[in-house]
Amino acid sequence: MTKNTPAPALLKDPNSGKEWELPIRSGSVGPQAVDVSKLYGQSGLFTYDPGFTSTAACDSGITYIDGEEGILLHRGYRIEDLAQNCSFLEVCHLLLHGALPNAQEKSAFEDSIRYHTMLHEQMLMFYRGFRRDSHPMAIMVGVVGALSAFYHDSTDINDPEQRLLAQYRLIAKMPTIAAMAYKYSVGQPFMYPQNSRSFTENFLYMTFGVPAEEYAPPPAFVSAMERILILHADHEQNASTSTVRTAGSSGANPFACISSGIASLWGPAHGGANEAVLSMLREIGHPDRIPEFITRAKDKNDPFRLMGFGHRVYKNYDPRAKVLQSHAHEVLESVGRKDEPLMALALQLEQIALQDEYFIERKLFPNVDFYSGIILEAMGFPTSMFTVLFAVARTVGWVAHWNEMISAEGALRITRPRQLYTGEPERPFVPLDER
Ligand code: ACO
């Protein structure tokens, strides 16, 4: 065994006394992993880990999270540095291509994305098929999945050029699709992208602009939206990214895979949490009622949880929540709501929870969703659009992981977890007249 190869772990079956050696694998940083991929073949045993709390499903070089320390790195760079110094598209380049772009690469990349912002005109018919009161995430799932019916020249997953084209198309078209979902719900005309604007400004223009008037978003909005997009761009193997990987593992086309990621993101335990934070703050209503809700959050017989608190991976303050807290103040000030009661309530709730033994013991801290809803609401987004914005941002993470999986060495293996069967053992069939 070389110096760098860790000793294997030993698994012992106490009944038979048999032992198996399981290789230990090391990444570049972070905890080591016991490789159980050959365990069933060798021993006839499966591992059991619902929710994958202790299971790595792939190798990945895109994002690293140290949940204990509250550190998030994209390709080695701290999220705080990226959020402070980069545009969203620079972060997209970093996630997709592994490096921050130089000035020339940045400009070329922006041009490539800009080139794909429009939607096939026929796709606008899709919107008209939805009810006006459809949840925009329902529209997103449908329209993004339908991209595969329009962009046939980017669905061959074995062609690297087609894969790149699909990735660029998805990143570029997602704001257009999202803004149109919003416009449809409020009965306003769709706004076509204006490529003289930046990615983020264009998105705000397509969402809040109307053909009858000039529109320039307030600088605080552009800056906050840019940060929101960066902070949500990727988060390693979260539920929606794992869904995209699982869908892609069968060889499905990229548009179908991203549509499945959007479906997974929709749930309140994932992307829907910032919407839930805002509803919770409104329900609490006044600082005097905070203790009542803290008590409810701790009561195991009450399904209520403190939304925007806790995280599967972070057992410390989510670094993204810190960045967003300062932008919440800026946006509120820019819309003349410096003393916004919901913000004051959120700050107080955070303070009280962080001093409570229940939250301390379980290492429950504010997550990225705790402040993002307040910012988005102040900008004028309806709550139903919050998760849509998350999807716009996360698209780059999804496609980066999808492409990493497809282009990895070796054959693509379909994701196929096992189960611990707890149903009836085999029994004799009972004819209908004897049941
Ligand atoms: N309020 C009250 N108690 C909580 C909360 C919360 N927000 N979060 C976790 N706990 C408690 C659990 O009841 C459990 O207590 P127990 O050990 O006494 O049974 C313990 O903390 C551990 O919680 P788990 O549910 O095992 O943690 P898990 O990793 O499965 O869940 C999750 C993480 C889903 C994010 C959870 O913390 C939660 O529901 N939070 C609120 C929803 C939310 O904010 N989601 C956004 C996540 S971030 C994102 O998707 C971008």
CA distance 81 to 228: 14
For residue 392, the model assigns a pLDDT of: 98
For residue 349, the model assigns a pLDDT of: 96
pLDDT tens-digit map of 400-434: 999 999 999 888 899 999 999 999 999 999 999 99
Q: Give yes or no for residue 258 CB within 6 A of ligand 1.
A: no
pLDDT tens-digit map of 111-150: 999 999 999 999 999 999 999 999 999 999 999 999 999 9
pLDDT tens-digit map of 60-103: 999 999 999 999 999 999 999 999 999 999 999 999 999 999 99
Q: How confident is the model at residue 362 (pLDDT cuts 50, 70, 90)?
A: very high
Task: Please name the residue that has the structure tokens 């009542």.
Answer: 292
Q: Average pLDDT of 352-376?
A: 93
pTM reported for the whole predicted model: 0.92
Alpha-carbon radius of gyration of the chain: 24
Q: Average pLDDT of 313-317?
A: 91
Rounded to the nearest integer, the mean pLDDT of the chain is 94
Pairing outcome for strands 9-12 and 19-22: antiparallel
Is pLDDT of 307 > 50?
yes
Contact 274, 228 (CB under 8 A): no
Residue type, 374: I
Residue type, 274: N
- From 116, 318, 369, 401, the catalytic residue: 369
CA distance 366 to 231: 14
Which candidate, 196, 141, 192, places its Cα nearest to that of 391?
141
Q: Average pLDDT of 319-339?
A: 89
Q: What is the DSSP letter of 366?
A: B
Q: Give yes or no for residue 369 CB within 6 A of ligand 1.
A: yes
Q: Give yes or no for residue 367 CB within 6 A of ligand 1.
A: yes
CA distance 91 to 73: 12
For the record, the structure tokens of 297 come out as 């959050």
Distance 157 CA to ligand 1 centre (A): 37
For residue 3, the model assigns a pLDDT of: 53
pLDDT tens-digit map of 257-296: 999 999 999 988 787 788 889 999 999 999 999 999 999 9
Q: Give yes or no for residue 269 CB within 6 A of ligand 1.
A: yes
Query: How many CB atoms are located within 10 Å of the residue 339 CB?
Result: 9
Residue 311 bears catalytic tag: yes
Is pLDDT of 1 > 50?
no
> Which residues does 111 contact at the CB level (< 8 Å), separation at least 6?
none
Q: How many CA atoms lie within 13 A of 405 on its CB side?
A: 29
How many residues are listed for the chain in this entry? 435
Is pLDDT of 32 > 70?
yes
Which candidate, 176, 194, 113, places its Cα nearest to that of 140?
176
CA distances from 166 to 139, 160, 248 (A): 20, 10, 13
Q: Which helix (H) or strand (E) holds 274?
A: helix 273-284
